[in-house]
Chains A and B, each alone.
Chain A
């Protein structure tokens, strides 16, 4: 076998890189960044919420624990800026206003049918009041009910957003009271508002809704970006390692023990192992941090192992929405996110993860072989960065092809977009495009097999090309070996 000894080179390469300060520092840095991201996800909403509430309503940001009939404990906002509400209920409904108590809002119900003038006076009086008070007037109309909330002009702590919040709650209370009035039981009321998952079919193919698409795109693009960064950075590490050996003339010593091909095989696989070490370290450490601190609860819950925790997802969305100052998110959005997240992450099945690992390895080998060849083509380490520019350009081209085609590919009208097809079958972009497409379920098994096959074929052909010319250029000093020289060498018949 011409590549005898590659495993010793792999071992040495792996140990030396993993021991190096640059690897330790970069891995620790990655862990810190992931830790911060998890920490920020967990604590920032609370901090921002605190700040926002303080700004708007003094110290009205406290939460109280509320226990429902089944003994479930939930957190509820302790109160709003509005301290007191006078309710003028002109409807015939018996409305339950106890939700105000949970919000620590004092209220008084006044039935004043036919005394509009009294209401007008009260509203006029409120207008110039400096109390954190509001007046709610509920009236019946031909088509249903009308709710008006009046607030004082000069009380800065009360914002329109608080009134909108109250309006939503009053509307819900009126809806429930109306249903009870019509003879619907409390249990049945719960059933009247199930989460409705919606989807559109184009032909016989389902199109994901906006929420699912957004989650899916984020996850798949993140996967592509991570693969791109890993393949490019560790590929360059291979080039660096080989160029260093050539420039420092260690290569000549190595070549008395092993064939040149064994050197590049050992280097490329050693660096691949280093990349996996970094990934596994970060994944394990991040998982531990995530499980320990993330507001999602355990990973198992998030990934649907042992059931999806909808309430935690809703809680997170609610908190982030509030903390970001955009008010409470629409309940349907929360429900949709809760419902779609497990679907969106369901792409990370064991088979798909295995496929992604295989594609990552192939993509890594493909780019690392190019990088190794570039590393072998330079005689001075300072020439390496210039020599690597074409590789960076090619990988960027591959990545952006994937990036743009992902967006166009998600548009049902552009399903057959040529960019999408190219990005999935071209070896320079398929390592980045395939994982996204597989996770998003956009490719059939046959398409995946063909794409992987094309990548594998190119990898083998390129490896043969490298094997043919590597030993010719590894000891060639002086000017950088150009591509045309490499092609000439590949064609030459040497013994």
Chain B
């Protein structure tokens, strides 16, 4: 199985919301579609799912054009939506039946997911009577009810409390173990880092970075140095040509050109008989890579327009 997105383009007026987006998911796991607000992630997802017509490009699933009507595809949209006035159980049956499930399978699956997500008590309530978090759980149940092969999660954990975040994470882990293909879009970089292998970072419809996350990190090298000591080490760092990029009571962060400079600083600290609490040389986090790739551009945009980009 594989999902292949090739050169898709989507234009709104004269603006390309998605421009030449290309990526492939060759094996089960989580693939991250990242970007700032308005980068074109949601539009890209809608185009991939065939909800929006595209100007050009192809989306294939198992070497055939993806047709969500005929495939088991689950989608948790960023903008949550349930019928506010209808009973939860009736909506769930409707969604399951639309997925082509027979009544018995639908009942069984709904019962399982309602139990798993702890929302069984709300089945006879109307959606408008539920909290935002519980509505989100119902939506996740709706996305998973047909046991989809391809699961698309757009900001799955936004607005959830820590307990429910863990619940969602455990379900995602389960789905990975079941060899499901998952595309996740999220601004919670730590979560993405926790699950994802491949990533695409988009900015203004264009890809600014893509590939295997571990490889990308390795490509950057171990250039982030975090130091915490019981005395001031900044003069010693300056002697090594290192200047802090952030300085908090907790630690001091440096950017190093090569690992040798970090070693030089370590020697100086030890020689000065300063007690070290922490000395870590690591690869950049996804958060840092993300900010590096799109942060500067965004700052310029803010300066130029005095506002943010539009969500699409």
Contacts and interface: CB of A to CB of B under 8 A. Distances in A.
Contacts of A494: 53-55
Contacts of B73: 256
B54 A259 contact: no
Given A249-B79, A250-B81, A257 B51 contact: no
B56 interface: yes
Interface stretch (B91-99, B231-239, B292-300): B91-99
Given A257-B68, A495-B56, A251 B46 contact: no
Contact of B54 (A16, A257, A258, A495): A495
Contact of A249 (B50, B52, B80, B100): B80
Contacts of B143: 253
Contacts of A478: 310
Contacts of A250: 81-83
Interface residues of B, number: 35
Interface string A1-27: 000110011001000100010000000
Nearest to A9: B98
A310 interface: no
B254 interface: no
A471 interface: yes
Nearest to A12: B94
Nearest to B310: A478
Contacts of A475: 46, 51-52
Contacts of B94: 8, 12
Contact of A256 (B49, B79, B86): B49
B88 interface: no
Given A16-B86, A248-B84, A253 B54 contact: no
B89 interface: no
Contacts of A166: none
Interface in B3-32: none
B196 interface: no
A241 to B, nearest CB: 10
A472 B69 CA distance: 17
A252 B98 contact: no
Interface string A469-495: 001101100100000000000000011
Contacts of B139: 253
Contacts of A20: 85
Contacts of A495: 53-57
B95 A253 contact: yes
Interface in A215-263: 244-245, 248-260
Given A256-B68, A257-B69, A495-B57, 13 more contacts: A5-B98, A8-B97, A16-B90, A245-B81, A254-B98, A255-B51, A256-B51, A257-B95, A257-B98, A258-B98, A475-B46, A494-B54, A494-B55
Interface of A: 4-5, 8-9, 12, 16, 20, 244-245, 248-260, 471-472, 474-475, 478, 494-495
CB-CB nearest 10 A-B residue pairs: A249-B81, A494-B53, A257-B98, A250-B81, A252-B77, A256-B75, A249-B79, A255-B51, A12-B94, A248-B81
